Amino acid sequence: MKLKIAIGWTVMLLLASCSGQAVTGLPEGAAKGGGKVQTETGKQAAADEVPNFKNASVHDPSVIKVDDTYYVFGSHLAAAKTTDFMNWTEIASGVHDGNPLIPNVTTELAETLEWAQSNTLWAPDVIQLPDGRFYMYYNACKGDSPLSAMGVAVADQVGGPYKNLGIMLKSGMWGQPSEDGTVYDATVHPNVVDPHVFFDKEEKLWMVYGSYSGGIYILQMDPETGFPYPDQGYGKKLLGANHSRIEGPYMLYSPDTDYYYLFLSYGGLDATGGYNIRVVRSKTPDGPFVDAEGHDMTRVGGPAGTFFDDEAIAPYGVKLMGNVEFGSAEGDALAAGTAYVSPGHNSAYYDEATGRYFLIFHTRFPNLGERHEVRVHQMFMNEQGWPVVAPHRYSGETIGSYNAAELAGDYKFVRHGKDITAEVKESSLIRLDDNGKVTGSEEGTWRLTGGHELELALSGSVYRGVFLRQWDGGTLQHVMVFTALSGAGEAVWGSRITAKE
């Protein structure tokens, strides 16, 4: 039975434009760029290891690697660290004096909190600039309006303490001059939250930001000061308008494809909001960005006079993942596998040493309300140069070379679609026959086009992606999986049914 939950309008108004609450952890169990291909012997040995996980709760996790450790910083001044993307240690949480990131935060950021009429902070970003210091781009938002302020603080160590350098942008000044000199209009001007600061391939510094309101914007930044170059106003608009539910921008450059990928979250962040992760791409960091069908994203946004018009934006952008649940099947081992509600507000990381791509996001879970945790999934570039996301959380797996005989079998199959919905997309059953046919809830054909590349033809659409062997946290076994995208930018996942050993 599929879970169907109506979107609470009041809750959406309160949460619009900003990010969610911090909640402590849940018990465990609730192509190109795919890394170096191992030999069959090495792959099998690694795959036989049972992974361990330690979870953390950081909303809107933004990643930075320092030495051999990954740190994520999120809303409500929360942070966690890991060396393997599997075992997390929480190091900070809560906007209160004594938080190690900003020990005197209530006075240090008093101007920001006062402007935003807020007692908390939203999704930050941390980057190391050429002077060797770490710059935290913080922001606060009222929550039911785009009354927000964004600034930067600096520290000698990534874990703080951070010292405020000042506010750089404000929004929500109704009827008053805005950052570009015109009267502030929330249907066209951005909400100054959700920053991501990054270097492009030419070592130029940029900041992409925005949530709902007038859309997602990008600014050129001064790497010597950490502030925007002057006389840019709010910068250049990339997409969105009229309070479209698009937020959480994050940029990733791929040296494999020479594209800049702009990740976005559509929908509402709460458990009934239908949050989902999308991506668009461009050859330049300031656009124009397009989706898999070539739509110019600068034109994407709600029509004039609309508010939270999801139908207007749902067809655009490559939807990588949304609400999903791999259910139990006859003969299956133990229990259900991956099950997420409103996954989103991701960051992403490319590991130059291994060629691996990672998607780092927060997610809620079926029937567990607003509790959330960080999850990390490996990504791969398909033949069309679009990222596809592995169905199960990262457990140290490395993609290998496979043969068709070992891939044939019964799979739990999920279509993510393109909609923005609170409905959880439950798995159905398909079979990849050894004669290249697909039978079961879907009919079509499949074939292995390389060592691990998949071409899947279903209902007149061709999906391209990869096969991979992963740890299934529900069945507690390593299973074959596949992940692929259609030419329309719709993702499908498969997880093989394996009898209990």
Give the strand order in the sheet containing 196-199: 196-199, 205-209, 216-221, 236-239
- DSSP type of residue 402: -
Q: Is the dihedral angle over the CA atoms 217, 222, 226, 232 positive or is it negative?
A: negative
3-state secondary structure 24-71: CCCCCCCCECECCCECHHHHHHHHCCCCCCECCCCCCCEEEEECCEEE
Q: What are phi and psi of 44, to 5 degrees?
A: -65, -40
Q: What are phi and psi of 94, to 5 degrees?
A: 100, 135
Task: Report strand pairing: 163-171 vs 196-199.
Answer: unpaired
Tell me if residue 28 is catalytic: no
Give residue 317's region: left, alpha or beta (phi > 0; psi -120 to 50).
left
Give strand ranges (E) for 46-133: 62-66, 69-74, 78-82, 89-92, 125-128
Written as six digits, the tokens of 34 are 């795919």
Distance CA 59, CA 79 (A): 9
Give the strand order in the sheet containing 78-82: 62-66, 69-74, 78-82, 89-92
Tell me if residue 370 is catalytic: no
**Is the peptide bond prior to 288 cis by the omega test (within 30 degrees of 0)?**
yes
DSSP states of 191-241 as a string?
A: P----EEEE-TTS-EEEEE-BSTT-EEEEEE-TTTSSBPSS-TT-EEEE--
Catalytic residue among 60, 286, 426, 453: 60
Catalytic residue among 90, 247, 291, 397: 247
| Whether the Cβ atoms of residue 59 and residue 78 lie closer than 8 Å to each other | yes
| Whether the Cβ atoms of residue 210 and residue 239 lie closer than 8 Å to each other | no
Helix residue spans in 337-389 (DSSP H): none
* Beta bridge partners of residue 375, listed in sequence order: 361
Distance CA 442, CA 111 (A): 57
Active site residues: 60, 247
